[in-house]
Each structure stands twice: as C-alpha cells, then as structure tokens.
C-alpha cells in the first residue's frame, strides 16, 4: 500500500480550511491490519468500532492519549526547480515502544475529538515494524512529510 492523502484534507487545503504551520498536527501509529482509504476523512474512521491504533508500553492510543506526537519544526517550502511544494517537520521518536505491529504513521489535524480530527495523510511504513521495547523512529523522506507535485 502506498501512502495517500485523504479527500477531506484535499478539500480543506483548497478552501483554506487547514493551516499546517499553525494548527495542531500530530502523528498516530496504526496497526498493519488497518486498510487505508482516501475516503477515511476523520480519525474515528480508524479508531471507531474495532480500534486499529496501536496501544501498549510506550504508546497510549486514543484522543489525548500519550502515544500521539505533535509535529515540531514545521516548515512549508516551494521548489521551482522540481516544480513541487512540500511540508516538512522534525522526525519523531517513541521511546521503549512495545505496542504491537506498526503498519502506518497517520498524520492528523487534532481538533476536539476523534470525530472531528482530520486525517491529512497516511504513510505506509512498509515493511511493517514489530515493536519490541526499543525506540521507534518515524523519519520523514528527504522531501518532507507531504509533497505536492
């Protein structure tokens, strides 16, 4: 499964309904059994019913849980040479993570609950990573968290 952007994020981006630099943007870790879908617009599409967010030592899932990390050092840039725009942030580290198998890192705009927190994009961390009590790092690609070409 390749990474994807949600349809809701695309719409908000076009109508100025999201500010990647000033809104609270977080990353949640999701089990490999989750099936990403561009039509999954809100976090409760992932957490509602059978939860797919990981949970265990080093990660408490759920809204306001200690597992979701806030992006820091956020930046937006334009690259005229390669005709792209990108959004980047500092890499994230979960310490002593032992919470199951991570299949995806999901970037979200956190609002007041999972029902209104918006899925921005889903990154496939393939191959899936079985957490074993060590540190787990989400290292963004050289061209950032999100690239628009």
pLDDT at residue 51, as a whole number: 77
**Phi, psi at 48, each rounded to 5°:** -70, 150
- Strand pairing report for 84-88 and 146-148: antiparallel
pLDDT at residue 96, as a whole number: 96
Q: With 0-12 CB in 10 A as exposed, 13-18 as middle and 19+ as buried, what is 114?
A: buried
Against a cut of 0.75, is the pTM above it? yes
Mean pLDDT to the nearest integer, 61-83: 93
Summarised one tens digit per residue, pLDDT across range 85-139 is 999 999 999 999 999 999 999 999 999 999 999 999 999 998 899 999 999 999 9
Summarised one tens digit per residue, pLDDT across range 106-116 is 999 999 999 99
CB-side neighbour CA atoms (13 Å) of 39: 1
Summarised one tens digit per residue, pLDDT across range 11-62 is 999 999 999 999 999 999 999 989 999 999 999 998 775 679 999 999 998 8
């Amino acid at each position: 499964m390749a990474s994807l952007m949600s349809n809701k994020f695309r719409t908000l981006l076009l109508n100025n309904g999201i500010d990647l630099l000033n809104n609270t943007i977080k990353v949640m870790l999701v089990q490999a059994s989750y099936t990403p879908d561009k039509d999954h617009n809100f976090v409760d599409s992932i957490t509602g019913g059978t939860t797919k967010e990981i949970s265990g030592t080093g990660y408490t899932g759920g809204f306001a849980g200690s597992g979701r990390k806030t992006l820091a050092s956020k930046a937006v840039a334009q690259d005229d040479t390669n005709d792209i725009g990108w959004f980047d942030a500092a890499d994230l580290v979960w310490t002593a993570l032992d919470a199951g198998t991570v299949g995806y890192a999901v970037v979200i705009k956190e609002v007041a609950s999972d029902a209104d927190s918006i899925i921005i994009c889903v990154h496939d961390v393939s191959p899936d990573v079985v957490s074993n009590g060590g540190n787990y790092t989400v290292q963004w690609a050289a061209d950032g968290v999100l690239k628009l070409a």
